[in-house]
């Protein structure tokens, strides 16, 4: 390598996961804008990851599904965002980025970056189980793995999907038999469509969805998902809610206490940590701790960086080292060089 050029890959946290290679500053899911960025890659449509798509004057990449989900939920100018299908590659000089399925929500992907100096994977949010609406994350072998640590502690071990599905359905039927409307609070993108699919598959109970969930349902349908639901702001929706013979699905942040006929439940992996009053179901679109370890073991990286888990970054890193014998640490704010 010529003198003066920067050798190798540097990975760090700086308002996003930033990878530096020669003159390139590639930002994965950045939340803070920087004029240094040469390229922005967005893993999926959830708000804590997708803000970078709104940055102007930089080349931005994501999947077509993510672009459509954003257009359905936010008023951002993302016309110029370039799209990559799962499996597609894009190259800059001798560096190549490829998108793989990350199993989290519609269009979610992890990115692998290959250079002559080594390979790097950024997972975004990851799910390693099969659900009614997602396939497990693909294993993308690499040297440096940056993995999310949302549930990076042994206390997070979710029951199998079958068990959760059964409990959800039983609880909903019980509510209806007792004259109440089972009202789920769930992430509008992902968990809500999984809930609809569960009830469509195993019951004939009508589903009513609040507007922000309905908008996302339409994007899923445009990608071939068959979802049976009625918008809450329609005559049929109002009649169903009044009859109390239906299920309501609303976004997580909505307060449903205004209607005494609603019996609420939170459907989210985070329901294991908080959730307020009401029932809780750990329907998670993230990998739990055993699955995070299994994913790292399958990827076989030389080093792992944990991020997106707050204090659990430290916990997960320590346990990856102890249980898998692979070097691991929280993603530093300073660059790491290979
Ligand atoms: Zn997410
Ligand atoms: Zn996230």
pLDDT tens sequence across 194-241: 999 999 999 999 999 999 999 999 999 999 999 999 999 999 999 999
Identify the CA nearest to 269 among candidates 292, 253, 285, 250.
285
Which structural domain, as residue segments, surrounds residue 320?
9-155+287-337
The residue among 270 and 311 whose pLDDT is bigger is 311
Question: Looking at the structure, do residues 17 and 118 belong to the same domain, yes or no?
Answer: yes
What is the mean predicted confidence (pLDDT) over 151-170?
Answer: 96
Render pLDDT for 57-88 as a digit per residue (tens, 0 to 9). Answer: 999 999 999 999 999 999 898 999 999 999 99
Say which ligand is closest to the CA of 284.
1
Say which ligand is closest to the CA of 45.
1
From ligand 2's centre to the CA of 81, what distance in Å?
21
From ligand 1's centre to the CA of 249, what distance in Å?
19
Say which ligand is closest to the CA of 102.
1
Helix, strand, coil tally for the chain in percent (to 5): 30, 25, 45
Question: Looking at the structure, do residues 133 and 166 belong to the same domain, yes or no?
Answer: no
Query: CATH number of the domain that 180 lies in?
Result: 3.40.50.10890
Assigned domain for 240 exists = yes
Question: Looking at the structure, do residues 204 and 333 belong to the same domain, yes or no?
Answer: no
Assigned domain for 139 exists = yes
* CA atoms of 26 and 111, how far apart (whole Å): 11
pLDDT score, position 77: 87
The residue among 164 and 271 whose pLDDT is bigger is 164
Q: How far is CA 61 from CA 39, 42, 112, in A?
A: 8, 6, 13
For residues 265 and 192, is the Cβ–Cβ distance under 8 A?
no
Assigned domain for 172 exists = yes
pTM (predicted TM-score): 0.94
* CA atoms of 182 and 193, how far apart (whole Å): 16
The number of domains in the chain is 2
From ligand 2's centre to the CA of 47, what distance in Å?
8
pLDDT score, position 9: 87
From ligand 2's centre to the CA of 299, what distance in Å?
21
From ligand 1's centre to the CA of 312, what distance in Å?
17
From ligand 2's centre to the CA of 173, what distance in Å?
32
Assigned domain for 1 exists = no
Question: Looking at the structure, do residues 17 and 149 belong to the same domain, yes or no?
Answer: yes
Assigned domain for 92 exists = yes
From ligand 1's centre to the CA of 46, what distance in Å?
5
pLDDT score, position 139: 98
Query: CATH number of the domain that 126 lies in?
Result: 3.60.15.10
Q: Give the DSSP H/E element, type plus range, for residue 95.
A: strand 95-101
Q: Express as a percent the part of the chain with pLDDT over 90.
A: 89
Question: Looking at the structure, do residues 45 and 95 belong to the same domain, yes or no?
Answer: yes
pLDDT score, position 195: 98
Identify the CA nearest to 291 among candidates 136, 132, 128, 108.
128
Q: Is the pLDDT of residue 3 over 70?
A: no
Question: Looking at the structure, do residues 119 and 15 belong to the same domain, yes or no?
Answer: yes
Identify the CA nearest to 56 among candidates 79, 29, 28, 25.
79
From ligand 2's centre to the CA of 25, what distance in Å?
22
From ligand 2's centre to the CA of 48, what distance in Å?
6
Q: Is the pLDDT of residue 6 over 50?
A: no
pLDDT score, position 81: 97
Pick the last residue of a domain from 259, 281, 303.
281
* CA atoms of 326 and 313, how far apart (whole Å): 15
pLDDT score, position 334: 63
Task: Give residues with Cβ within 8 angstroms of 144, minimum separation 6.
Answer: 9, 11, 118, 119, 120, 121, 301, 302, 303, 304, 305, 336, 338
Assigned domain for 328 exists = yes
What is the mean predicted confidence (pLDDT) over 24-31?
Answer: 96
Give the confidence band of 7 by pLDDT, cuts at 50, 70, 90.
Answer: low
Pick the last residue of a domain from 242, 262, 281.
281
Question: Looking at the structure, do residues 39 and 175 belong to the same domain, yes or no?
Answer: no
Say which ligand is closest to the CA of 268.
1
Render pLDDT for 111-134 as a digit per residue (tens, 0 to 9). Answer: 999 999 999 999 999 999 999 999
Q: Is the pLDDT of residue 338 over 80?
A: no
């Amino acid at each position: 390598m010529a003198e003066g050029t920067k050798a190798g890959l540097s990975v760090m946290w700086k308002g996003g996961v930033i990878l530096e290679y020669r003159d390139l500053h590639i930002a994965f899911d950045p939340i803070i804008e920087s004029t240094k960025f040469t390229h922005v890659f967005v893993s999926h449509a959830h708000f804590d990851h997708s803000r970078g798509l709104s940055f102007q004057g930089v080349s931005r990449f994501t999947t077509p599904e993510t672009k459509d989900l954003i257009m359905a939920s936010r008023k951002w100018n993302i016309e110029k965002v370039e799209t990559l299908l799962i499996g597609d590659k894009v190259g800059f000089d001798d560096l190549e980025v490829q998108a793989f399925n990350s199993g989290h929500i519609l269009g979610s992907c992890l990115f692998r970056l290959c250079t002559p100096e080594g390979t790097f994977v950024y997972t975004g949010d990851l799910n390693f189980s099969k659900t009614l609406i997602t396939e497990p994350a693909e294993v993308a072998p690499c040297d440096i793995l940056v993995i999310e640590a949302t549930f990076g502690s042994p206390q997070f071990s979710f029951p199998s999907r079958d068990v959760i599905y059964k409990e959800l359905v039983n609880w909903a039927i019980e509510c209806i038999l007792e004259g109440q409307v089972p009202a789920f609070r769930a992430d509008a993108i992902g968990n809500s469509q999984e809930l609809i699919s569960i009830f469509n598959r195993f019951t004939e109970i009508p589903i009513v969805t609040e507007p922000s969930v309905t908008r996302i349902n339409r994007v899923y349908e445009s990608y071939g998902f068959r979802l049976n639901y009625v918008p809450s702001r329609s005559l049929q929706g109002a009649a169903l809610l009044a009859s109390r013979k239906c299920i309501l699905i609303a976004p997580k942040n909505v307060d449903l206490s205004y209607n005494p006929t609603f019996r609420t439940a939170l459907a989210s992996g985070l329901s294991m940590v908080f959730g307020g009053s009401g029932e809780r179901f750990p329907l998670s679109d993230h990998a739990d701790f055993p699955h995070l370890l299994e994913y790292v073991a399958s990827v076989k990286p030389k080093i792992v960086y944990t991020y997106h888990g707050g204090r659990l970054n430290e916990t997960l890193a320590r346990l990856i080292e102890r249980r898998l014998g692979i070097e691991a640490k929280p993603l530093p704010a300073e660059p790491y060089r290979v």
